[in-house]
Amino acid sequence: MGTKMDKLLAQCVRLIFMAKRKSLEPDPAEIRGNKILERLEKWFKRPETRFDAQKMLGQISADSQAYAKHLVVSGPSSNEEAAKALGFTLEKLEETVSELERAMDKLRGKPTSST
């Protein structure tokens, strides 16, 4: 999904953004997004999991697909930034991210709660 240079550049951009916010603590939504992105990248790099990951993404809502694409293209961001970029309310974004996480947990064989 990206070269080492792309990842390094993304980390630098995040560090600059955090410095501008005057906070070295990453936003919890960024951490959550980063975990999702790392799992997706791992699955798509491995031939034995790539097909299942593609199938999973094809079975989730268009909103969750849009969020996954946003993560890949723009990287993890705050909930406010992601919601604005996608044209979602914060509540809709939360539902969307939760749906994606449940689908990913199901793919991993992890039990999910039906919230």
Q: The pTM is what?
A: 0.74
Each residue of 33-71: pLDDT tens digit?
999 999 999 999 999 999 999 999 999 999 999 999 999
Each residue of 90-109: pLDDT tens digit?
999 999 999 999 999 998 88
Q: How many other CB atoms are found less than 10 A from the CB of residue 33?
A: 23
Backbone φ/ψ region at 22: left (φ over 0), alpha (ψ -120 to 50), beta: left
Q: What average pLDDT does the chain have?
A: 86
> Tell me, what's the pLDDT at 112?
53
Tokens of 98: 């939760």
Complete domains list, the chain, with CATH: 25-108 (1.10.10)
Tokens of 16: 């600059």
